[in-house]
Amino acid sequence: MTDHPVSLSGGCQCGAVRFRVGAVGRASICHCRMCQKAFGSFFGPLVTVSDLTWTRGRPKRFWSSNLVQRGFCAECGTPLTFEHPAGVELAIGAFDDPSAVPPTIQVSREERLPFFDGLPGLPLKPGHEAALFLATVVSRQHPDYDTAIWPPEEPTDD
Ligand SMILES: [Zn+2]
Ligand SMILES: [Zn+2]
Q: Which domain holds residue 97?
A: 9-113+126-134
- Dist. CA 20 → ligand 1 center (Å): 15
Is there a domain that residue 141 lies in?
no
Query: Could you give phi then psi for residue 95, rounded to 5 degrees?
Result: -65, 150
Q: Which DSSP string corresponds to 45-66?
A: EEEEEES-EEEE---EEEESSS
pTM for the structure as a whole: 0.88
Task: Give pLDDT, residue 5.
Answer: 45
118-134 in b/e form (b: 16+ CB < 10 A) is eeeeeeeeeeeeeeeee
Is there a domain that residue 14 lies in?
yes
Is there a domain that residue 140 lies in?
no
Task: Give pLDDT, residue 148.
Answer: 93
Is there a domain that residue 121 lies in?
no
Tell me the CATH number at 49: 2.170.150.70
Q: For residues 153 and 83, what is the distance between their CA atoms, to the nearest angstrom?
A: 34
Domain count, the chain: 1
Q: What's the gap between Cα 83 and its chain centre?
A: 14
Task: Give pLDDT, residue 1.
Answer: 46
User: What ligand has the least distance to the C-alpha of 70?
Assistant: 2
- Dist. CA 67 → ligand 2 center (Å): 13
- Dist. CA 68 → ligand 2 center (Å): 10
- Dist. CA 33 → ligand 2 center (Å): 7
Q: Read off the pLDDT of residues 112-156 as tens digits, 9 standing for 90 and up.
A: 999 999 999 999 888 777 788 888 999 999 999 999 999 888 766
- Dist. CA 141 → ligand 1 center (Å): 9
Which residues of the chain fall short of a pLDDT of 70?
Answer: 1-7, 155-158
Q: Provide the percentage of residues in the chain whose pLDDT is more than 70.
A: 93
Return the ∠ at Cα 88 (arms to 82 and 89), rounded to 5°.
60
- Dist. CA 72 → ligand 1 center (Å): 8
